[in-house]
Every structure is written in C-alpha cells, then in structure tokens.
C-alpha cells in the first residue's frame, strides 16, 4: 500500500522547490507546475515501473513524456527527488550553463529527459512513436504522457489522437491537465474546446476522468483504473481535473500565475503555506 503521508510530504516539498526555483531567477511557470505536483509525485513514486539509473532507450521500464514543457519546475523537482540527478542542481534552474533549461531538453544530457518540449503540441506524437517502439521490442511496459488542456488547440495533437486509436496504440496513457486556464485567460474565453471527453471518445479512445486531480489517493485510484484499461486495443486518455497554482492560495484558480514569478513577499507567503518536509535543496 502506498504511504499517503510520505507522498503528501514529498508533494509539499516539491511545491516549495517550484516556487523557490521560479523566484530565484524571476522567471518560469509556477501555475501549471503546482497544479500537477500531486500527479508527478504519484507517477514517479508509485505508478511507473522504473529501472535504476537512466538510459535513453528505456527498454524494460515505463516511460514518461512531458508535452507541455513549460511546467519544467515540477518535472525537475520530481526527477531530482526521484534520484535522477542531485537535488542541489535545482539551484541552477534557468541559469547559464545549466542542464535545467527553461524548457526540458535532452541537449544538455539531463538524466530523466527523453525529448525536448516547449513548443507545444508535439509530445503525443513522440509518445506514440516510443509506444510503437515498445511493441516492436516486445516490451510490455507502458508509455505515459502529459499535455496541457490549452495545448490541445495545436493541430498536431489531433493528428496524433486520430492515429493512436486507428493503429491501436493501447500501451499509452495520455493525461490532459484540465485546469481550464491558458496564458490569455480561461480556455473557454480564449478558444472553447467543448467536451474533451466527447472529442477523445469520438476519436476512438477510452476516456477516464479524475475529478480530484490534486488528491493523491484519487490520482492513484484513477491511474490504476487507467492502467487496467491498457492492452485492450485502445489508447487511454485521463482527464485530470486540476487547480492551477494548487497549494499556494493566491496563485490558485487563475491564469495570472501561468508564467510569472513570485516576489520576495509572495515567496515567503507561499513557503509559509507549504512548510519544509524533506529539506530544501
């Protein structure tokens, strides 16, 4: 049984990492990162089967691809705290000569990263290719991917969504971070997308909602269901209902903190809401 207390403590620490990283360089994307902290912790600590160390091909383990690369702070924090690289390296986020680029990349050789992302809409295609390589290699491990909801406005996603079901890529679980926010406002204000469930189902996917996308137990339960639906001839989509900026009250329920760093006062306030659990980097 997963230890929810430990996962919760880790999530709190990840939140601290996110706002400290972004504050230090006065740039980066805290809102979406905070909204997905529980998901990343659950994925890397409980859900994915991972080998020790890192090799690019990842044969014999589950793989994860982040398509909305701007939420790199949560990705870096969870990768570091899952053992891929030293936690102290979080200090170098967005600095010159760092492996922790503004958006994730393989280019600087950071362990844990298998593709560059940042220019939106490309990650699902890459995840599909990796999933099909697993099938060719008779590797029955899964491929996970994460996408922003606003990101689905990019057309390449729909090429990939159409392909995935047509080609029965059923070893893929694509999660949509349904926080209903994007840079210029709510997704309904910018470009309403209607029912994503109806759209994915119409494209031949199995769709599953996790209504409490910031609740670790709900995530674990929902993703367990998602896993049980793989291998049945259809790709699986998880609609993860999250709150952007979750865990820092003044950043919650708004697009305002999509790509804005907290000032000194705001950092102090955010940290006081998330007391240190595992030790700051």
The residues of the shown chain that bind other proteins, judged by CB under 8 A, are 56-59, 63, 65, 105-107, 114-119, 122-134, 136-137, 139, 155-156, 159-160, 162-163, 166-167
Please measure the distance between the N-terminal and C-terminal CA atoms of the chain and give it in whole angstroms: 28
Cα distances (angstroms) measured from residue 95 to each of 24, 68, 103, 226, 249: 10, 20, 12, 38, 28
CB of 241 to other proteins, least distance (A): 27
φ, ψ at 179 (rounded to 5°): -100, -5
Nearer to other proteins, 106 or 263 (CB): 106
Planar angle of CA 147, 152, 154, nearest 5 degrees = 115
Nearer to other proteins, 161 or 216 (CB): 161
CA–CA dist 281, 236 (Å, integer):
36
Nearer to other proteins, 23 or 70 (CB): 70
Name the residue among 230, 204, 70, 251 with its Cα closest to residue 140: 230
CB of 142 to other proteins, least distance (A): 13
Nearer to other proteins, 97 or 119 (CB): 119
CB of 109 to other proteins, least distance (A): 10
Nearer to other proteins, 96 or 136 (CB): 136
CB of 136 to other proteins, least distance (A): 7
Neighbours of 260 (CB within 10 A): 17
Nearer to other proteins, 105 or 179 (CB): 105
CB of 172 to other proteins, least distance (A): 10
Q: Tell me the residue ranges of DSSP E strands in the chain.
A: 63-66, 143-148, 172-178, 181-182, 185-186, 206-210, 236-241
CA–CA dist 152, 57 (Å, integer):
27
**Under 8 Å between Cβ of 58 and 272:** no
Cα distances (angstroms) measured from residue 149 to each of 98, 172, 212, 261: 29, 18, 16, 22
């Amino acid at each position: 049984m997963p230890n929810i207390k430990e996962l919760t403590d880790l999530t709190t620490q990840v939140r601290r990492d996110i706002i400290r990283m972004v504050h230090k360089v006065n740039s980066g994307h805290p809102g979406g990162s905070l909204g997905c902290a529980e998901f990343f912790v659950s994925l890397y600590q409980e859900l994915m089967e991972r080998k020790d160390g890192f090799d690019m091909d990842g044969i014999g383990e589950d793989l994860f691809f982040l398509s909305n690369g701007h939420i790199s702070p949560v990705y870096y924090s969870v990768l570091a705290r899952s053992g891929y690289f030293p936690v102290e390296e979080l200090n170098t986020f967005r600095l010159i000569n760092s492996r922790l680029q503004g958006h994730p990349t393989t280019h600087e050789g950071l362990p844990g990263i298998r593709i560059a992302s940042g220019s939106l809409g490309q990650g699902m295609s890459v995840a599909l290719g990796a999933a099909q390589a697993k099938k060719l290699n008779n590797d029955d491990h899964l491929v996970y991917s994460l996408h922003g909801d606003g990101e689905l406005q990019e057309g390449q996603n729909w090429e990939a969504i159409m392909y995935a079901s047509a080609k029965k890529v059923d070893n893929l679980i694509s999660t949509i971070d349904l926080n209903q926010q994007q840079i210029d406002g709510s997704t309904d204000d910018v470009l309403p997308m209607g029912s994503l469930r109806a759209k994915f189902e119409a494209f031949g996917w199995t769709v599953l909602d996790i209504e409490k996308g910031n609740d670790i137990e709900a995530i674990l339960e929902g993703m367990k269901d998602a896993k049980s639906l793989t291998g049945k001839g259809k790709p699986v989509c998880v609609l993860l209902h999250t709150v952007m900026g979750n865990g820092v009250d003044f950043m919650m329920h708004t697009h305002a903190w999509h790509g804005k760093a907290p000032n000194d006062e705001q950092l102090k306030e955010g940290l006081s809401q998330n007391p240190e659990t595992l030790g700051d980097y």
